[in-house]
Amino acid sequence: MNVWVIYDIAGTKSGDTRRRKIIKEIESFGLYRVQKSVFLGNIEKNRIDELVVFSEDLIEEEHDSVYIFPMCKEDFEAVKVIGRGFDSDLVTGKIGSLIF
């Protein structure tokens, strides 16, 4: 399933630590950074729950936020990008499936 993950972590010293941890975890799920605090990729539906639990345990809810938007294939294909965008073939795994 395609998923967008968007975070906003407080700009404090402890926020920097939380930000590094959330980035590392998101990347470990195989998601690609499309903007500074925006990641996109294709993961198994049950892994979304893992990401939710990790985020809940990590963030300070009064200062931070993490948005996780699952997106079906039809909706993802309807996304409009204006300007320099991301490589949608790379994100959806089409390139990886051609290589292997």
Q: Residue 55 carries which side chain, given as an amino acid letter?
A: S
Residue corresponding to tokens 């968007």? 6
Report how far residue 54's alpha carbon sits from residue 24's, in angstroms, rounded to the nearest whole number: 11
**Domain containing 43 — which CATH number?**
3.30.70.240
Range of the domain at 12: 2-99
| Pairwise pLDDT comparison (57 vs 95), residue with the higher score | 57
What domain count does the chain have?
A: 1
Sequence-ordered alpha helix ranges (H) in the chain: 13-28, 45-58, 73-77, 88-92, 94-99
Question: Which of 41-45, 52-56, 70-74: highest mean pLDDT?
Answer: 52-56
The residues, any chain, with a CB within 8 Å of residue 14's CB and separated by 6 or more, are 60
At residue 96, the pLDDT reads: 43
Give the confidence band of 98 by pLDDT, cuts at 50, 70, 90. very low
